[in-house]
Structure 1
Amino acid sequence: MKLLLLPGDGIGPEIAAATETVLRAVEARYGLGLSLTRRDIGFAALEAEGTTIPDAVIAEARGADGVVLGPVSHNAYPPVSAGGRNPSGVLRRELELYANIRPALSRPAVPRPVSAEVDLVVVRENLEGFYADRNMHEGGGEFAPEPGVGLAFRKVTARASRRIAEAAFALAETRPRRRVTAIHKANVMRLTDGIFLAEVRAVAAAHPGIDYDELLVDAAAAHLVRHPGRFDVIVTTNMFGDILSDLASELSGGLGLAASLNLGPSYAVAQAQHGSAPDIAGQDRANPVSLIGSAAMLLRHLGAGAAAASVEAAIDAALSSPETRTRDLGGALGTRAFADHLATLIVES
Structure 2
Amino acid sequence: MKIRRALDLYANVVRIKTVPGLKLRHQNVDFIVIREQTEGEYSALEHESVRGVVESLKITTYENSRRIAKFAFDFATKFNRKKITAVHKANIMKLGDGLFLESCREVAALYPNIKLDTMIVDNTCMQLVSKPQQFDVLVAPNLYGNIVANLAAGLVGGAGMVPGESYSTDVAIFEPGARHPFLTGAGRNIANPTAMLLCGVNLLQYLHLDGMASKIENAIAAVIKQQRIKTRDIGGYATQQDFLRSVLHQLGY
TM range (shorter): over 0.9
Task: Tell me which of 230, 246, 249 is aligned to 1:341.
Answer: 246
- Contact preservation (8 Å) 1:323, 1:332: no
Q: Return the alpha-carbon distance in structure 1 between the equivalents of residues 252 and 6 of structure 2.
A: 36
Tell me, yes or no, if structure 1 residue 148 matches structure 2 residue 60.
no
Alignment match, 2:113: 209
Alignment match, 1:127: 38
Superposition pairs for residues 163-174 of structure 1, below 5 Å? 163-174=67-78
Alignment match, 1:327: 232
Q: Return the alpha-carbon distance in structure 2 between the equivalents of residues 97 and 304 of structure 1.
A: 23
- Contact preservation (8 Å) 2:87, 2:118: yes
Alignment match, 1:239: 143
Q: Return the alpha-carbon distance in structure 2 between the equivalents of residues 286 and 207 of structure 1.
A: 41
Tell me, yes or no, if structure 1 residue 307 matches structure 2 residue 204.
no
Superposition pairs for residues 70-219 of structure 1, below 5 Å? 89-112=1-24, 114-131=25-42, 135=43, 140-219=44-123
Deviations 1:33-87 (A, max 9, x none): xxxxxxxxxxxxxxxxxxxxxxxxxxxxxxxxxxxxxxxxxxxxxxxxxxxxxxx
SS in 1 for 2:100: helix
Question: Shift of the alpha carbon at 1:293?
Answer: 1.1
* Identity, % of aligned positions: 34
SS in 2 for 1:287: coil
Structure 1 residues 313-322 or 276-285, which shifts more?
Answer: 276-285
- Contact preservation (8 Å) 1:100, 1:262: yes
Could you state the TM-score of these two structures normalised by the residue count of structure 2?
0.93
| Paired residue type of 2:231 | T
SS in 1 for 2:28: coil
| Paired residue type of 1:336 | Q
Structure that is richer in strand per residue:
2
Question: Shift of the alpha carbon at 1:333?
Answer: 2.4
Q: Return the alpha-carbon distance in structure 2 between the equivalents of residues 304 and 91 of structure 1.
A: 27
Q: Return the alpha-carbon distance in structure 1 between the equivalents of residues 210 and 3 of structure 2.
A: 25
Q: How many pairs does the alignment contain? A: 252
Change (3 A) 1:125 1:278: closer
| Paired residue type of 2:16 | A
Question: Shift of the alpha carbon at 1:267?
Answer: 0.7
- Contact preservation (8 Å) 2:128, 2:152: yes
Could you state the TM-score of these two structures normalised by the residue count of structure 1?
0.68
- Contact preservation (8 Å) 1:322, 1:330: no
SS in 2 for 1:144: strand
Structure 1 residues 297-306 or 196-205, which shifts more?
Answer: 297-306
SS in 2 for 1:104: strand
Tell me, yes or no, if structure 1 residue 287 matches structure 2 residue 192.
yes
Deviations 1:82-134 (A, max 9, x none): xxxxxxx122111111110001111231122x235311000110111111xxx
- Contact preservation (8 Å) 1:123, 1:234: yes
Tell me, yes or no, if structure 1 residue 261 matches structure 2 residue 172.
no
Give unpaired runs (5+ residues) of structure 1: 1-88
Change (3 A) 1:158 1:278: closer
Question: Shift of the alpha carbon at 1:186?
Answer: 0.6
Alignment match, 1:79: none
Question: Shift of the alpha carbon at 1:332?
Answer: 3.8
- Contact preservation (8 Å) 2:181, 2:191: no
SS in 1 for 2:59: coil
Q: Return the alpha-carbon distance in structure 2 between the equivalents of residues 160 and 347 of structure 1.
A: 46
Change (3 A) 1:296 1:277: closer
Question: Shift of the alpha carbon at 1:279?
Answer: 4.4
SS in 2 for 1:103: strand
Give unpaired runs (5+ residues) of structure 2: none
